Amino acid sequence: MQGILAFFVGIGLSATCGFRVFVPLLGLNVAHHLGHLPLSHGFEWLGSWPATIAFGVATIVEVGAYYIPWVDHLLDTIATPAAVVAGTIITASMAGDLSPLLRWPLGVIAGGGVAGVVQGASVFARGASTATTGGFGNPLVSTGELVASIVGTIVSIVLPILAIVLVGLILFLIFRRMFRRRTQSA
């Protein structure tokens, strides 16, 4: 069961990468330092002190930059592939003793996939906010994403089963909205 719970932690953290790339990486790092999350062999660097500093600085810069008009859209172009990479690495780091032949495809498909879907929805929300409010609503969207990332990170680490249920709900809502939009335009 420990392996499945670790996988749930990885998927939950990967999903939160879609809201903010570095918040879940910092959360993973801190949880590792506190002895709460073991990292798979080869991923110990995620729990190192240099990584703590790097993730901390990157988190502060990322969070602050999303409150600067038009920079938020520029960041989305960078954050989309970065979220997929971060989600892949996080899920792979939680895969335990799996063979690399299973670990990396699992990381890419499950971790990178869920991070990419959530990030895509986030980009869509920011674009809709810009279109409807001229960008004045974007700080509210940024705040919501930040809160979702922080809460999602904590829930993923502390209550991984709840996190996987929430990830499933988020994915359901995203796909339902996409399907509705597609059927309305057809």
Residue 160 pLDDT class (50, 70, 90 cuts): confident
3-state per-residue secondary structure call for the chain: CHHHHHHHHHHHHHHHHCCCCHHHHHHHHHHHHCCCCCCCCCCHHHHCHHHHHHHHHHHHHHHHHCCCCCHHHHHHHHHHHHHHHHHHHHHHHCCCCCCHHHHHHHHHHHHHHHHHHHHHHHHHHHHHHHHHHCCCCHHHHHHHHHHHHHHHHHHHHHCHHHHHHHHHHHHHHHHHHHHHHHHHHC
**Lookup: tokens for 166:** 């929430």
Contact at 8 Å (CB) between 19 and 146?
A: yes
Residue 120 has pLDDT above 50, yes or no: yes
The pLDDT, as a whole number, for residue 2 is 65
Q: Who wins on pLDDT, 86 or 127?
A: 86
Q: Which one-letter amino acid corresponds to residue 103?
A: R
Q: Who wins on pLDDT, 182 or 74?
A: 74
> For residues 40 and 61, what is the distance between their CA atoms, to the nearest angstrom?
28
Q: Which one-letter amino acid corresponds to residue 131?
A: A
pTM (two decimals): 0.87
Per-residue pLDDT tens digits for 88-109: 999 999 987 788 888 899 899 9
The pLDDT, as a whole number, for residue 166 is 87
Q: What average pLDDT does range 54-59 have in this prediction?
A: 97
**Lookup: tokens for 68:** 């600067």
Nearest one of 71, 63, 79 to 118, comparing CA atoms:
79
Percent over 70 (pLDDT), the chain? 96
Residue 1 has pLDDT above 50, yes or no: no
Q: What average pLDDT does range 68-77 have in this prediction?
A: 82
Q: Who wins on pLDDT, 51 or 3?
A: 51
Contact at 8 Å (CB) between 119 and 62?
A: no
Q: Who wins on pLDDT, 164 or 84?
A: 84
For the chain, the domain total comes to 1
Residue 101 domain boundaries: 2-185
Per-residue pLDDT tens digits for 4-26: 888 889 999 999 999 999 999 99
Handedness of CA 155, 72, 45, 95 (dihedral sign): positive
